[in-house]
Amino acid sequence: MILYFSGTGNSEYVAKRIGNETEDEVLDLFDKIRTRDFSEIHSDRPWVVVSPTYAWRIPRILHEWLEQTDLSGSREIYFVMTCGGDTGNSGKYLKRLCGLKKMHYSGCSSIVMPENYIAVFTTPSKEEALEIISRAEKEIDNTARLIREGGIFPQSSPSLKARMASGVVNQLFYPMVVHAGKFYAKDTCISCGKCAHVCPLNNIRLENGKPVWGTDCTHCMACICRCPSEAIEYGAHSRGLPRYTCPK
Ligand SMILES: Cc1cc2nc3c(=O)[nH]c(=O)nc-3n(C[C@H](O)[C@H](O)[C@H](O)COP(=O)(O)O)c2cc1C
Ligand code: SF4
Ligand code: SF4
């Protein structure tokens, strides 16, 4: 079974592509994470977890959900991480998670997709994004083929930089960077409620028709990028940048 979490659609696209190629079931974890549903799920076929990369590891909310949920049936598990550039030494932490769950780690494949982190980096135009995705297609096919054949994803040994990024930098990233305090909605907000609806942590409520952010944010970028009137900004950084959602 293919499980995915996705803020802006890249991981959803890759999960569905792998699902097609392997003729396996695809499950969106959004509702389960949002409602904190950790009830057992079962698959006789190997598990495949597709996710974005947040500070060179899988998102914490997904890691916690995996820790707490009983995945019964197959003991094989693959990880596929979409990223804007690289996934560092994320495999080390995924391997450790598999040990805790008594599952067999079958490797982590990195797929470079368009950058979605509009709060910190520059997001691509639609044309640039399509170009990046077309370059990713071969890697998605190779990843799906290895899963279909029951192979193991090849792993290279991590550099010191990668170990630092997934280790100490990841630890500092959440307390230092991941906050919702800089989000605000402009007057162009049409009070549609979509931002509240797409938040995997239920961190947004509407007050007098306008969004108000709470303190439980994981910086998935769904609210700012999925607002139909582009009314949300993140401090000054997001001004003028294209809102990114996977164009496929
Ligand atoms: C909070 C956050 C942290 C990120 N950290 C990384 C990173 O460490 N390395 C990287 O290559 N891309 C990073 N990215 C980019 C995303 O992993 C990438 O665009 C991903 O494909 C988005 O997937 P999604 O559309 O399924 O949410 C980050 C994005 C966000 C929102
Ligand atoms: S998604 Fe955008 S337009 Fe809709 S309520 Fe939120 S900020 Fe307003
Ligand atoms: S507040 Fe926005 S960025 Fe934060 S978790 Fe919710 S949807 Fe994602």
Tens digit of each residue's pLDDT (9 = 90 or more) over 12-51: 999 999 999 999 999 999 999 999 999 999 999 999 999 9
Per the CB < 8 A criterion, the answer to whether 232 and 224 are in contact is yes
Q: Please give the Cα distance from 245 to 226 (Å, whole number).
A: 7
From 5, 13, 116, the mutation candidate for ligand 1 (largest count of ligand atoms within 8 A of CB) is 116
pLDDT score recorded for residue 228: 98
* pLDDT tens column, 165-183: 999 999 999 999 999 999 9
Give the contacts of 36 (CB within 8 A, at least 6 positions apart). Answer: none
Note whether 46 and 74 are within 8 A (CB): yes
Q: Which atom of ligand 2 lies closest to the CA of 190?
A: 3
Res. 156 pLDDT band, cuts 50 70 90: confident
pLDDT at 40: 98
Per-residue pLDDT, averaged over 139-144, amounts to 98
Which residue type occupies 158? P
For 124, residues 6+ apart whose C-beta sits below 8 A from its C-beta are 114, 115, 132, 242, 244
Q: How large is the average pLDDT for residues 186-201?
A: 98
For residue 14, which of 88, 78, 95 has the smallest C-alpha distance?
78
CB 143 near ligand 1, within 6 Å: no
pLDDT, tens digit, 9 for 90 and up, residues 225-243: 999 999 999 999 999 999 9
Predicted TM-score (pTM) of the model is 0.98
Sign of the Cα pseudo-torsion (135, 137, 141, 146, in order): positive
Examine the pLDDT at 138 and tell me if it is beyond 90: yes
Contact 54, 8 (CB under 8 A): no
Closest atom of ligand 1 relative to the 53 alpha carbon: 17
For residue 91, what pLDDT band results from cuts at 50, 70 and 90?
very high
Over the chain, what is the mean pLDDT? 98
Residue ID of nearest Cα to ligand 1 atom 27: 7
Residue 115 Cβ contacting ligand 1 at under 6 Å: yes
The answer, yes or no, to whether any atom of ligand 1 lies below 6 A from the CB of 86, is yes
pLDDT of residue 44: 98
Q: Which atom of ligand 1 is nearest to the CA of 245?
A: 25
